[in-house]
Amino acid sequence: MKNTILGVIDATGYYQSLEDLLLHRSLAALPIGGRYRLIDFVLSNMVNSDIGSVAIFPKFQYRSLMDHLGSGKNWDLNRKRDGLFFFPAPGLDATDEGVGSFNHFAHHLDYFYRSSQEYAIISNCYTVCNINYRPVLERHMMIGCDITEIRHNGKSLEMYLVKTSLLRDLIESRDETGYTCMKDVVEDMDSGYKVCGYEHIGFVETVDSINKYYNTSLKLLNVSSWKELFKKESPIYTKVKDEPPTRYTSYASVKNSIIANGCYIEGNVRNSTMFRAVKVGKNTTISGSIIMQKSQIGDNCVLENVILDKDVRIEDGVRLIGDPDNPIVIRKGMIQGALMNS
């Protein structure tokens, strides 16, 4: 079944709750797990399922996403035939909602006609899971489904398998049918299509709010969850960066945390995630927090239940104590000083 499925990733997702982290990037490019971006999971799932042609449909702030994915080399998608494609949304308005907007697809309909793959898998960009789409296709063909919706614990994961020819028909007939996306078709009991469900068993988290992002990040600190998500036989790929190992001084203490390359740790880190090139000063305690790339935290600080975006600077003596149900979020490039908290 190699090269029988076309990958389609809707990267237009946006949630108001995540606004502080989406000012300079799309949701698909949101960092997670120390070195990954949200899109890495669905894209790796497709590559591990022998999908060699993937189309990404972005809308908001997608420069960071394109910089992360590049030519697709890290996913073996830099090919002369098929490979990785970007199709930005040409000025769609707020009414174009739902994963896999047919209006968005319609602007690039020729891509679907040029594709040789018989089937297409349409997915959102913000579901963290490790799934093989080949068994989904096998069951889809065996039962004779028109559309297969992938679910977890009975809830839709907003991933749909459909024949490419049927997808083209749905796009072209959208004005007559009123369908705006795959969800509309699946939920219409009178559509006339045979809709099947495929239950995925395993680690699944959908990041659609600050709380979901924060809690998902903490769950990745659990060894069993990590092993369930990051499997040797189906690895999660990401952009490779050449950076030195993290340096831990004699003052440092780290427990149950993810620490990426290039960090410099002098303080105490507990139950937290540190992205690349983060600096933690002396006598500083960090717990239950997510610290993104190149953030600098001074000496004698206390950070609990905090999310720092990229390039944040925390000056000496700062205390930031958030609530696990309402973590403090510091936007990219901000400076937080002790005098600001007094």
pLDDT in tens, 247-286: 999 999 999 999 999 999 999 999 999 999 999 999 999 9
CATH number of the CATH domain containing 25: 3.90.550.10
Residue 342's pLDDT is what? 41
Q: For residue 142, what pLDDT band results from cuts at 50, 70 and 90?
A: very high
Domain count for the chain, please give it. Answer: 2
Residue 100 to residue 37: CA distance in whole angstroms: 20
Residue 97's pLDDT is what? 63
Last residue of a domain, one of 203, 229, 255: 229
State yes or no: pLDDT of 126 exceeds 90.
yes
Q: For residue 91, what pLDDT band results from cuts at 50, 70 and 90?
A: low
Last residue of a domain, one of 197, 229, 261: 229
Q: What average pLDDT does the structure give for the chain? A: 94
Show the domain range for 63.
Answer: 5-229
Q: Are residues 309 and 162 in the same domain?
A: no
Span 108-117, average pLDDT = 95
Q: Are residues 163 and 51 in the same domain?
A: yes
| Residue whose C-alpha is closest to residue 100's, from 9, 216, 235 | 9
Q: Is residue 239 part of a domain?
A: no
Q: pLDDT tens digits for 52-72?
A: 999 999 987 889 999 999 999
Q: Are residues 49 and 166 in the same domain?
A: yes
Q: Are residues 101 and 179 in the same domain?
A: yes
Q: Are residues 222 and 274 in the same domain?
A: no
Q: Is residue 236 part of a domain?
A: no
* DSSP reduced 3-state for 210: helix
Q: Are residues 147 and 222 in the same domain?
A: yes
**Model-level pTM?**
0.94
Q: Which residues contact 166 (CB under 8 A, 6 or more apart)?
A: 146, 147, 193
Residue 340's pLDDT is what? 53
CATH number of the CATH domain containing 299: 2.160.10.10
Q: Are residues 119 and 258 in the same domain?
A: no
